[in-house]
Structure 1
Amino acid sequence: MTEAGSATIESLSGDRPSRRPLEIFAAIFVVAGLIYSSHLGANALGASEAYSAWAAAKPGVGAIVRTPVLHDPGKQVFYYVVLHYYTQIFGLSEISLRSMSVIFSLVTLALVFALGCEMFDKSTALAAAAMWAFNPLAVVFAHTARMYPMLIAIALAHLLTLLRVRSRPGIIGGIGCGILGAAMAYTHLAGLLILGAEAAILLRDLSRGRRDTIAWLAIALAIVLFLPYLPVAIGQSQQMIYGHWLDYLGPPYNYPLAAKLAAGLVAAGVTCWLVLGRTVERDGNEPIRVLAAWIGLPALAFIVGSVILHPMFNPRYLSPGIAASPLLIAAVIGAWSAKWRNLLAAGFVVACLIMLPFARSKPPPWRDLAGQVAGGGASEPVFFESGFVSNASTANVPNGGFPFGYYSVPFDYYFRGANPRIAIPGFDAAAARMTIEERVSSAGGGWLVSWKDSNAVKSELPDPKRFTVVEKFRGDHLTFYRITPSGRGVPVARPAK
């Protein structure tokens, strides 16, 4: 791998044969495939990954489509449908679920190189591909059974086809571009912001006398194909806003009106400069400006929306732009100095390879939690809080999110025992406490899987004078409790605070 990094520097000089970048990219691709494919089954699935498995296991496309509508709002259906057919062939194990992400991650790597060749040259393409291939973010995406690797691959493929129909118009290419654009939006709603950024790019072309008729038709086709799902998407967005779900939208910031106006004006100014600003590139296609708009405008929309409306910014939603950023970096530095671009690419590869062993996140605890419950009585209930996963300020907001309990899905992936699973209202601590006390008293013990912090969950834990509560695990937005009636012969531990 170090040799590949060194070869990157040598191969990007102008004296080398044109095949050399392709050969080095092939070596990078193979090494990346080995890294992406390693340890796929080592860690338990995270909660969101378990939802991917749960949706993919549905009996048909109709049931899959209803899953995000009824039970998991905010998610789009295309990834679940593709994963459904993939797992029918390869099964629902951790390795098979994550292996589809490996495939899309390798497709993304090839697309980064292809985009670099389309927009710049093979040397820039190779530098960008090298910087992305071993980026810890790329490895994390490849090891995660979620929609983001698919979103990145579809978005980059859509951009590539859009650029090609922009410079070499063709009906077949335009139709393919439109289908990819719709698939992007069906994979994640952030795809709509990317379509908006591409429309801004075409508006700049129009302002300079370039019509781009086929490219405009491709954008229009993508929107038309997404229209049947738009009412569902709007309904989900409203539900998420009122639910204040932690992973999507939170309560609005109390910024002064002047700050909100300033943020809006800055966003408008940057957008106007990207669309109407004077040309600074020699290439008439303005590839650097195109990339800056494609990467920057969706990010700007999330940032400004967070200031004016609700907090909505999350790096995952910008994953296509993050994957395209090495192209922009390589192109900007290469325009100044090819030598420094090459050194940066090689140095970044070496740094990433050194960092990778230390970049692994803490494994989810679901295997251990399932093992602890299995070691108890089969009649002991396991309690899960229904409602949206919220922060402390919105935990008591009544809502209909996840009526069966958000954490019941990852728990059931690893636990097959007969213990009753009981959903308690996460937004009604008094009712939750009453249910826990009643069921634990009759069963002689029980377990609580909570997404609340220690202060918020205290009000739903049973009376410490009559019950013993032992905190068995605490992580980010996840706490696991063992609850027994006092005097049942279990080890007495400090009650959770």
Structure 2
Amino acid sequence: MRAMDAAAPGSVPLADPEARPEPDASAPVSAPAHTTPTVRPTLSSPGPPGDAAPAPPALAEDPEGPPFGHATRQLLAAAVVVVVVVGLVLRFWTRSDLWLDEALTVNIARLPLHDLPSFLRRDGAPPLYYVLLHFWIELFGTSDLAVRSLSGLFGVITLPLVWVAGCRLGGRRVGLAALVLLASSPFAVRYDTEARMYALVALLTVLGFLALDRSLDRPRPGNLAALAVVTGLLLYAHYWSIYLVGTILLWLAFEAVWGRPRWRAGARASLVAVLAGCLSFVPWLPTFFFQSRHTGTPWAVP
């Protein structure tokens, strides 16, 4: 009765079954023992900076794949070393004799340097590998193992570079897969054990990819100079590189005009660098045209 007498006018009538009694402001409010408070994420709203909880920092994307622990990184590095060593053994484990093209290559490389251009006019090949083999023979002699070891060296150097290229393309797992495939490929092992220029071409191709990849993202003078140098070396290593360089020029021209905006500046700079590398081949053009008329190159005049 005392509570009813103290009710103020305008309060909720007690006869209303839907009404809920207002809590007493003087009584302490405590959560039931069986309930657990739930923390709900809230969106940032206008107000003082301290009102809303700070959002967790966004995780940066790893361009080389998901993060690895320390033990996993050590295991991965050990796997790369083991695969490279296996590839090295395969490339220097050869017992066959030199075949005709290898013997002709060695005979030309043994000539004095000033005689190489005149002999190569009848051979149908550019001079880079012959010049390198010439100096290699002066150091290590003309045994089968000695003359083939230059190509083996090129093949072994290519292995870790393929690992790097694979990591740039798709992460560490892709890099390891590319490394295993190249190290164990019978096709690659065969040409890495021949005294011919094919292992050099493969090495320069991978170097060219790495130089082009860096030039597209960071068109700095050093990256562009490396791209120009590798382009020129490719053309002087094998004439089949003309098709590769031509395809790259067409692709860069497309990217420079219609490509992704973030690549357009790099594509324009890389296009100039590749063209500069092509200009280095101009002094050899008279010999190239002579070979196309008088040797058995694929584009020779019948």
| Fold conserved between structures, TM > 0.5 | yes
Within 1, Cα distance between the matches of 2:294 and 2:86? Answer: 43
Of 116, 119, 134, the residue aligned with 1:67 is 119
Pairwise CA distance, 1:149: 0.4
Within 1, Cα distance between the matches of 2:243 and 2:116? Answer: 25
Pairwise CA distance, 1:15: 5.8
Pairwise CA distance, 1:170: 1.1
Correspondence 1:223-262 to 2 at 5 A: 223-240=278-295, 245=296, 248-249=297-298
Q: Is the 8 A contact 1:205 1:211 kept in 2?
A: no
Q: Secondary structure at 1:75's aligned position in 2?
A: coil
Q: What are the Cα deviations for residues 206-248 of structure 1, in whole angstroms up to 9, with x where unaligned?
A: 21241323312210111110111122212212323xxxx4xx4
Question: 2:224 matched to 1:174?
Answer: yes
2:149 corresponds to which residue?
Answer: 99
Q: What's the TM-score, normalizing by structure 2?
A: 0.71
Q: What are the Cα deviations for residues 40-85 of structure 1, in whole angstroms up to 9, with x where unaligned?
A: xx2221111011111111122x21122211x31x211000000000
What 5-or-longer segments of structure 2 have no aligned partner?
1-64
Q: What are the Cα deviations for residues 313-346 of structure 1, in whole angstroms up to 9, with x where unaligned?
A: xxxxxxxxxxxxxxxxxxxxxxxxxxxxxxxxxx
Correspondence 1:52-91 to 2 at 5 A: 52-60=105-113, 62-69=114-121, 71-72=122-123, 74-91=124-141
Pairwise CA distance, 1:14: 6.8
Within 1, Cα distance between the matches of 2:278 and 2:66? Answer: 43
1:221 corresponds to which residue?
Answer: 276
Q: Which runs of 4+ in 1 moved over 4 A?
A: 12-16
Question: 2:202 matched to 1:141?
Answer: no
Q: Secondary structure at 1:165's aligned position in 2?
A: helix
Q: Secondary structure at 1:211's aligned position in 2?
A: helix
Question: What count of residue pairs does the alignment treat as equivalent?
Answer: 230
Question: 2:103 matched to 1:20?
Answer: no
Pairwise CA distance, 1:22: 2.6
Within 1, Cα distance between the matches of 2:74 and 2:249? Answer: 35
Distance 1:22 1:89, change over 3 A: same
Of 87, 92, 97, the residue aligned with 1:37 is 92
Pairwise CA distance, 1:200: 2.4
Q: Secondary structure at 1:76's aligned position in 2?
A: coil
Letter aligned with residue 36 of structure 1: R
What 5-or-longer segments of structure 1 have no aligned partner?
1-11, 250-309, 313-396, 398-497
Question: 2:181 matched to 1:131?
Answer: yes
Question: 2:204 matched to 1:150?
Answer: no
Of 97, 106, 117, the residue aligned with 2:167 is 117
Within 1, Cα distance between the matches of 2:97 and 2:158? Answer: 25
Distance 1:13 1:168, change over 3 A: closer
Within 2, Cα distance between the matches of 1:75 and 1:86? Answer: 19
Q: What are the Cα deviations for residues 160-184 of structure 1, in whole angstroms up to 9, with x where unaligned?
A: 1111111111101211211111111
Within 2, Cα distance between the matches of 1:56 and 1:116? Answer: 35
Q: Percent identity?
A: 24
Q: What are the Cα deviations for residues 418-465 of structure 1, in whole angstroms up to 9, with x where unaligned?
A: xxxxxxxxxxxxxxxxxxxxxxxxxxxxxxxxxxxxxxxxxxxxxxxx
Pairwise CA distance, 1:13: 8.8
Pairwise CA distance, 1:155: 1.6
Within 2, Cα distance between the matches of 1:21 and 1:177? Answer: 30
Letter aligned with residue 278 of structure 2: I
Of 16, 38, 50, the residue aligned with 2:103 is 50
Within 1, Cα distance between the matches of 2:281 and 2:195? Answer: 24
Q: What's the TM-score, normalizing by structure 1?
A: 0.44
Distance 1:18 1:86, change over 3 A: same
Within 1, Cα distance between the matches of 2:67 and 2:280? Answer: 45
2:17 corresponds to which residue?
Answer: none
Within 2, Cα distance between the matches of 1:97 and 1:220? Answer: 33
Return the index of the structure with the highest Cα Rg: 2
